[in-house]
Amino acid sequence: MARRTKIYEGKAKILYEGPEPGTIVQYFKDDATAFNAEKKDVIEGKGVLNNRLSEFFMTGLNNIGVPTHFIRRLNMREQLVRACEIVPLEIIVRNYAAGSISKRLGLEEGTQLPRPIVEYCYKDDALGDPLVTEEHIAAFGWASQQDMDDILSLALRVNDFLSGVMLAVGIRLVDFKIEVGRVYDGDLMRLIVADEISPDSCRLWDIETGQKLDKDVFRRDLGNLTDAYSEVARRLGVMPKTVTKPTLIN
């Protein structure tokens, strides 16, 4: 069997050339990083959970007409996705204050925001993904005005969908990050949701108890990360069977 060509290795995923032109295989690793990779660990089972959860969210989005890069899941850790040109922005949507906006604006974590707030960060690890405005985005040509209109509309549709799906299982969608990419169909260029949507890139709090069910569990040493992600998966009916390591019986 021919060895696959690795296109890119990031903090949580590896991208390989796909079987057909215009496709990519996205492999989910167990590696967890936080604070711009200052904190690192390997969390057994995280990749399997994120592969399934991202499949679940992206499929739901495709079904309601929000275009995503997701084509199909290939196995426990891999999914086939459409190749796209990633726009160098992290698009953050916030419903409640937490994390960096709480620090920046002195808002108590958990404060409901007057309306969803969309923020943009420039994707550059060396710079720590700095917050940027639409002025920077336009001036440096990272995205056009038409792209920004489409990005805002995609971000808000993803927010409505994810908020509803989470609310139905007793989880509050505090905030999340998406990435978008450009695909070309003949002469037409469109933007689609790319990368992943998983508890690595969302803040998810239990509505009743406030328990954190996302990457803050790792960032803030609040317990076992796979237990938290498994709870999200269980409530959503994703991976009903828990993944356990085979044990040898004497």
**Least distance to ligand UDP from the beta carbon of 90, Å?**
6
Burial class (CB in 10 A: 0-12, 13-18, 19+), 185: exposed
175 belongs to the binding site for ligand UDP (CB under 6 A): yes
Contact between 56 and ligand UDP (CB under 6 A)?
no
> How far is the CA of 92 from the CAs of 147, 152, 179, in angstroms?
16, 10, 9
Q: Of all residues in this chain, which one has the CB nearest to ligand UDP in the complex?
A: 99
Residues 195-214 that bind ligand UDP (CB under 6 A): 201-203
- The Cα 59–Cα 64 span in angstroms is 9
Q: Which residues contact 231 (CB under 8 A, 6 or more apart)?
A: 213
- For residues 213 and 246, give the distance between their C-alpha atoms in angstroms, rounded to a whole number: 26
48 touches ligand UDP (CB under 6 A): no
Q: Does 99 bind ligand UDP (CB under 6 A)?
A: yes
Question: According to the binding rule CB under 6 A, does residue 177 interact with ligand UDP?
Answer: yes
User: Which residue among 28, 142, 176, 229 contacts ligand UDP (CB under 6 A)?
Assistant: 176
State the minimum distance, in angstroms, from the CB of residue 134 to ligand UDP: 17
Q: How many residues bind ligand UDP (CB under 6 A)?
A: 14
Q: Which residues contact 26 (CB under 8 A, 6 or more apart)?
A: 13, 14, 15, 78, 79, 80, 81, 196
Nearer of residues 159 and 230 to ligand UDP, judged by Cβ: 159
Radius of gyration of the chain (CA): 18
CB of 210 to ligand UDP, least distance (A): 16
Minimum CB distance to ligand UDP, residue 9 (Å): 17
Is residue 18 within 8 A of residue 193, CB to CB? The reply is no
Phi first, then psi: what are they for 88, rounded to 5°?
Answer: -75, 50
Per CB under 6 A, the segment of 10-18, 97-105, 106-114, 182-190 that binds ligand UDP is 97-105
Bridge partners, 175 (sequence order):
94, 203
27 binds ligand UDP (CB under 6 A): no
- Positions in 1-20 near ligand UDP (CB under 6 A): none
Q: Which is nearer to ligand UDP, 90 or 147 (CB)?
A: 90
Which residue, 79 or 198, has its beta carbon nearer to ligand UDP?
198
The kind and range of the H/E element at 57 are helix 46-63
CB 194 within 8 A of CB 179: yes
Asked if 90 touches ligand UDP (CB under 6 A), the answer is yes
Helices 145-167 and 46-63, axial angle in degrees (round to 10):
110
Residues in contact with ligand UDP by CB under 6 A are: 90, 92, 98-101, 129, 175-177, 201-203, 215
